[in-house]
Structure 1
Amino acid sequence: MLCDSMGLDEKEGVGLCVDDIPHILKGCVPDRYEFSPQKPITPKHPTFITSPSLKDRIHCVAYVFDINSMDNLSSKMVAKLKQIQKEVINCGVAQVALLTKVNNCNEVLQDNFLKMNKAMISQSQIQNVNKILGIPLSRILVVDNYASEREMDPVKDILILSALKQMFRATDDFLEDLPLETDTTAGMFQLCIS
């Protein structure tokens, strides 16, 4: 299951409330819950899940960044990202970063798919994500977006499917580290994309 969350904003009271993050990660937030930037969910909420099962939990967090904005993140946004990442690490959840809006990947993919990070993306942008969040370089993934295309593009599909495969691997690593449960949903996983 892929779960998309409200985006972040550097201003307080706008975007996803950081206080909601631990509850999302632990699976305490019910499906279709309407988040409020000003008021985080609490255990007193009538639909709060007090005993989430493994299938309710988030197993991999994907941070999504516009590649063109990486060098312009404000100190407030970096602080908020680090606060969120601290919660992710405390919960032991796997994490990846997706760099979007990568353009002109055709030439690279036709030449050598493995050279894409070096050829198309400034190493400073990838290293910036690594520096900010400490995510290993192998888990910083690039994708080219579908925006106004009417036809499928095999090059974009390769990037997207490759990123999805890496997210599955990160999720699998997370699940392998968990103690065995008797719950039959142990083989399920969720990705949280924010």
Structure 2
Amino acid sequence: MLCDSMGLHEEEGVGLCVDDIPHILKGCVPDRYEFSPHKSITPDHPMFIASPSLKDKIHCVAYVLDINSISSITSKEVAKFKEVQKEVLNCGTALVVLLTKIDKCSEILQDNFLNMNNSMTSQSQIIKVSKMLDIPIYNIFMVENYASELELDPLKDTLILFVLRQMLRIVDDILEDLPLETGNLAPFPLLS
């Protein structure tokens, strides 16, 4: 299962409330819950899931960042990312970064779309993100977005599916160490 959430924002009261993060990761937030940037869900909320099962929990968090905006990420935004990252690590959840909008990086496309991780521009951006957020390079992936295309592109699809497969492998490594639970297990929801 893939889930999307409001993004983080530099300003307080805008975007996802950071206090909601532990509840989301632990699976305490019900499906279709309407988040507020001003107020976190609390255990006394009528829809709060007090005893979530493994399938309710988040197994992988994906930060989705525009590769063209890496240099403009502020220190306040980095601090929020690290605050979320601390909660993610406390919950034993996988964390990856998806660098998007690579189609705007002409060097990447001029080299070879399938070998873009080897281009100088992409390597420097991956290293920059790794250092800025303290996330291992092997957990940072590049994908090209669909924006206004009317037809599917096999190269984009191949890369997207490759990244999804890598994310599933990361989650599988984490789940392998957990005791088995009865009931259905969803592969993983994403928070972006």
Structure 2, unmatched stretches of 5+, are none
Q: Secondary structure at the match of 2:190?
A: strand
Superposition pairs of residues 113-132 of structure 1, within 5 angstroms: 113=114, 115-119=115-119, 121-132=121-132
Match of 1:2 in 2: 2
Q: CA offsets, 1:72-127, max 9 Å, x none?
A: 11010000000000000010101111000001537514xxx3x3212163423111
Q: CA offsets, 1:34-54, max 9 Å, x none?
A: 000001000010000000000
Match of 1:191 in 2: 189
Q: Secondary structure at the match of 2:64?
A: strand
Instruction: Work out which of the residue numbers 109, 112, 119 in structure 2 matches 1:108.
Output: 112
Superposition pairs of residues 28-177 of structure 1, within 5 angstroms: 28-103=28-103, 105=109, 107-109=111-113, 113=114, 115-119=115-119, 121-177=121-177
Distance 2:39 2:159 in 1: 37
For 1:188, the aligned partner's letter is: A
Sequence identity of aligned pairs in percent?
A: 63
What's the TM-score once normalised by structure 1's chain length? Answer: 0.91
Distance 2:136 2:154 in 1: 27
For 2:142, the aligned partner's letter is: V
Structure 1, unmatched stretches of 5+, are none
- Deviation (angstroms), 1:59: 0.4
Q: Secondary structure at the match of 1:61?
A: strand
- Deviation (angstroms), 1:129: 1.7
For 1:171, the aligned partner's letter is: V
What's the TM-score once normalised by structure 2's chain length? Answer: 0.92
